[in-house]
Amino acid sequence: MKITAFTQLITVLAVTTWVFLLPVPAVAIILVLELALLLYIKHDRLTMAAIGALTVFTGMMILLQLIFGSPLSVSLTGGLRMFVMTTAFLCLLAATKIQDIAQALVEKFHLPCEYAFMLTTALRFVPDFLTDSATTLDAQSCRGYSNRGNVFKRFYSYLAVVKPLVMRAVAKSDTLALSMELKGFGANTYQNMTPQRLCFADYLVLFLVMLLSLYPLWSKYI
Amino acid sequence: MNETAIKFTNFHYGYINSDIILHNINLDVRKGSFTIISGPSGAGKTTLCKAMAGIIPYYYGGRYAGDVEVLGVTTKGKRVSDLAMRIGLMLDDYESQLVSLTAGEEIAFSLLNHGFAAEEVEARTKQVLMDVGLPGRENYQLDELSGGQRQRLLLASVLAVHPEVLVLDEPVSAMDPDGANALYKLLYKIYKEYNMTVVVVEHNINFLLPYVTDMIVMNKGRVAAQGFFEEAAAMTYAIPELRRNLPELWQVKLNLEQRFGISLRAWRKEAEALEELKEKFVGGALG
């Protein structure tokens, strides 16, 4: 059963609403379902690392809330909500090609194609940026860059890494813009793709999403 | 074979807030030729390539005079993307020119932009990946491809729209000699197979010596030599400051011809040179 990117986006948006609408036990069940789904779709090292990092981040969020005086139950609920919302996006990214998500955003949500393209480009250039960052750090270390000293000193010396990195990113963005021009980027990009038609599975999922979203209404009257 | 693919007529160009980069360029790139553009750094080779693709002056602005014609059509007032259907350009920084996340999406990108139907996009993507030696890699993430494979993927994305002229600006600048030789061998195969016009900017002519038919040598923003490779090489050798740009083999050949007043064949491989030198110098007429 394969559902379209449009339905998946709607589901993710709905999940982010449900975490505030549904009772905490129901949100916890959604989390379990999300994790099972995520591990079913993808269970490589990267996915495990993402879940691990998210867990640590959630732990820190809960800890911060406790430090600032929130009761334990509120902190835990906040952490759970954040975890569920983020895992929903992880599921979306694991299940769908980013190009399909961009297409759905342009076709169904009428997002300008430039913004949709930004989404795919940002993901495309993250590994390149990390590589450039490591290379620049190595190069500047050879020239005497050191990250020792107090926070201000370290921040100031880190400018020696940031400056060339920014210059390189600007140069790359110029080449990218030129490349897009050469490849005729414009409104046609997403319009000419094979349309994503909704099938029975999509309608079923959308119906369930609607049903759960109306929980406050039917829990009150039924 | 004598038709012109690209024609520069009295072309001058200077970027915004810069001196004039190209001075009075008059040159012809023959249709069906495999042309190399060579010359020292800062000679204006990349600017010349950009003018061929219509990027100059459309994208960069600046001051210009004269005209550039691509396949009989002036580039004046033409959008870069319109010209891209007939002339494909590959810039030197290949990493930054890849805009998608998978190999298939990368090739489909320009095809979809130019309005090809989804079935045609699929067929061309499959074919062009086979042409560049990456068959069945449609769903590969860019991270899963090596530097050389990414380079070939970019070439595939340019070839997918079936341009009649292909311009490559220092395509092997970040590659090792083996990778460079492999890419040029592939390029020559495509050139022969599709009967294209190929223009390559390359410092190291040694890589292209077996394949090149024509040569343009740039120096300080002017055309120093142009024509069939043999003629242009002789013209270049006559200018002392440009001699070192020629392949070592041809420096030897032209030096011997000058010193002994003889005529040697147009060497394309070391073996050919060795054979003729043995013939003429070891126990031969000049031995």
pLDDT tens digits along B249-277:
999 999 999 998 989 999 999 999 999 98
Local structure of residue B133 (DSSP, 8 states) = T
Q: Is the pLDDT of residue A146 over 90?
A: no
Scan for tokens 């250039």, then name that residue.
A125
Chain B contact for A180, CB < 8 A?
yes
Please choose, from the candidates B152, B75, B88, B76, the residue with its C-alpha nearest in 3D space to the C-alpha of residue B114. Answer: B88
Does B101 contact A188 at a Cβ distance shorter than 8 Å?
A: no
CA angle B92, B93, B95 (to 5 degrees): 140
pTM of the model as a whole = 0.80
Chain A contact for B143, CB < 8 A?
yes
User: Which percentage of chain B shows pLDDT scores above 70?
Assistant: 98
Does A193 contact B55 at a Cβ distance shorter than 8 Å?
A: no
Contacts of A185 in chain B (CB under 8 A): 81, 99, 109, 113
- Nearest Cα residue in chain B from A174: B96
DSSP 3-state of B173 = coil
Contacts of A190 in chain B (CB under 8 A): 112
Q: Is the pLDDT of residue B126 over 80?
A: yes
- DSSP run (H or E) holding B20: strand B20-30
Six token digits for residue B246: 């020629």
Does B99 contact A123 at a Cβ distance shorter than 8 Å?
A: no
Partnered with residue B13 across adjacent β-strands are B22, B64
Looking at per-residue confidence, does B81 or B200 come out higher?
B200
Nearest 10 degrees: CA dihedral of B207, B210, B211, B215? 70
What pLDDT is recorded for position B141? 86
User: Which percentage of chain A shows pLDDT scores above 70?
Assistant: 98
Whole-Å CA distances, B73 to B7, B76, B155 = 10, 9, 24
A26-35, A108-117, B10-19, B39-48: lowest mean pLDDT where?
Answer: A108-117
Closest Cα of chain B to A40: distance in Å?
20
Residue B43 backbone dihedrals phi, psi, to 5 degrees: -80, -15
Give mean pLDDT, residues B62-73: 94
| Torsion over CA: B234, B236, B241, B246 (sign) | negative
Does A182 contact B118 at a Cβ distance shorter than 8 Å?
A: no
Q: Is the pLDDT of residue A161 over 70?
A: yes
Closest Cα of chain B to A32: distance in Å?
29
Q: Is A41 exposed, middle or buried (0-12, 13-18, 19+ CB in 10 A)?
A: middle
Does A124 contact B102 at a Cβ distance shorter than 8 Å?
A: no
Q: Is the pLDDT of residue A29 over 70?
A: yes
Model pLDDT for residues B51-60, shown as the tens digit of each residue: 999 998 888 8
For an interface test with A, which of B60, B106, B112, B165 has the most A Cβ atoms less than 10 Å from its Cβ?
A: B112
Model pLDDT for residues B273-285, shown as the tens digit of each residue: 999 988 888 765 5
Question: Do residues A147 and A158 lie in contact, with contact meaning Cβ atoms separated by under 8 Å?
Answer: yes
Q: Of B84, B95, B98, which is closest to A182 when you measure between CB atoms? A: B84
A83-87, A208-212, B80-84: lowest mean pLDDT where?
Answer: B80-84
Q: Is the pLDDT of residue B16 over 80?
A: yes
What pLDDT is recorded for position A125? 82
For an interface test with B, which of A175, A179, A190 has the most B Cβ atoms less than 10 Å from its Cβ?
A: A179
For an interface test with B, which of A101, A182, A188, A194 has the most B Cβ atoms less than 10 Å from its Cβ?
A: A182
Q: Of B81, B88, B96, which is closest to A181 when you measure between CB atoms? A: B81
Give mean pLDDT, residues B174-181: 87
Scan for tokens 């006559």, then name that residue.
B238
Residue A122 pLDDT class (50, 70, 90 cuts): confident
Give mean pLDDT, residues B192-211: 95
Q: Is B249 exposed, middle or buried (0-12, 13-18, 19+ CB in 10 A)?
A: middle
Contacts of A5 in chain B (CB under 8 A): none
CA angle B86, B91, B93 (to 5 degrees): 155
Contacts of A45 in chain B (CB under 8 A): none
DSSP class per residue in chain B: --SEEEEEEEEEEE-TTS-EEEEEEEEEEETT-EEEEE-STTSSHHHHHHHHTTHHHHTT--EEEEEEEETTEE-TT--HHHHTTTEEEE-S-HHHH--SSBHHHHHHHHHHHTT--HHHHHHHHHHHHHHTT-TT-TT-BGGGS-HHHHHHHHHHHHHTT--SEEEEESTTTTS-HHHHHHHHHHHHHHHHHHT-EEEEE-S-GGGTTTT--EEEEEETTEEEEEEEHHHHHHHHHTSGGGGGGS-HHHHHHHHHHHHH--------SHHHHHHHHHHHHSSSTT-
Looking at per-residue confidence, does B101 or A91 come out higher?
A91
Closest Cα of chain B to A148: distance in Å?
33
User: Residue B206 CB: number of other CB atoms within 10 A?
Assistant: 17
Give mean pLDDT, residues A90-112: 87
Q: Of A180, A181, A189, which is closest to B112 when you measure between CB atoms? A: A189
Whole-Å CA distances, B5 to A186, B2, B287 = 28, 9, 46
Question: Do residues B105 and B145 lie in contact, with contact meaning Cβ atoms separated by under 8 Å?
Answer: no
What pLDDT is recorded for position B85? 87
Q: Is the pLDDT of residue B15 over 60?
A: yes
Residue B38 pLDDT class (50, 70, 90 cuts): very high
For an interface test with A, which of B99, B124, B139, B169 has the most A Cβ atoms less than 10 Å from its Cβ?
A: B99
- Nearest Cα residue in chain A from B99: A121
Does A175 contact B91 at a Cβ distance shorter than 8 Å?
A: yes
Does B101 contact A97 at a Cβ distance shorter than 8 Å?
A: yes
- Pairing mode of beta strands B87-90, B165-169: parallel
Cβ neighbours for A18, distance < 8 A, ≥ 6 positions apart: A26, A27, A30, A212, A213, A215
Residue B212 pLDDT class (50, 70, 90 cuts): very high
What pLDDT is recorded for position B2? 60
